[in-house]
Structure 1
Amino acid sequence: MAIFMSDLKAQIQTERDAARAVCDLKGDGSAECAVAWDTVEELQAEAAHQRETEKPKSSLEQYCDANPDAAECRVYDD
């Protein structure tokens, strides 16, 4: 199951806030603080990976997104 980019961004922000809270509570040098920031870094790495692997839409795909009823965009089931 893939995580959508918008969900991933929200999760990164949530984990970032949690990491700040943990570090404020436990201290910047604590193991809990390090683990919390590692989680943020892993999510950021996943977001970067998803951005790299996203295939850009072709001009026809962009056209069909804007004009779904156009003859060129019809899909016929066999």
Structure 2
Amino acid sequence: MPKRILQGTVTGDQNNQTVTVAVERRYKHPLLHKTVRATKKYRAHDETNSFKIGDKVRIEECAPVSKTKRWRVVTEASA
């Protein structure tokens, strides 16, 4: 099964080797037919502490690194 890759914005970098990434998805509401924005936050492993708040990054699913981390930062996303 392929690993999921998501793109989002770093919203937190306080912890060592960890960043919080907000991933936004858009979908059409089934009844109102209006575009809805839903945001979900993921905690991702950042080995080198190189990403700061506001950076656009890509994260990839991986084996659990800790209690809350199931993702790792792959690379900085292109604009």
TM (normalized to structure 2)? 0.19
**Structure that is richer in helix per residue:** 1
Q: TM-score, normalised by structure 1?
A: 0.19
Bigger proportion of residues as strand: 2
Q: State the structure with bigger RCO (CA 8 A, min sep 6), 1 or 2.
A: 2
Q: Name the larger-Rg structure.
A: 1
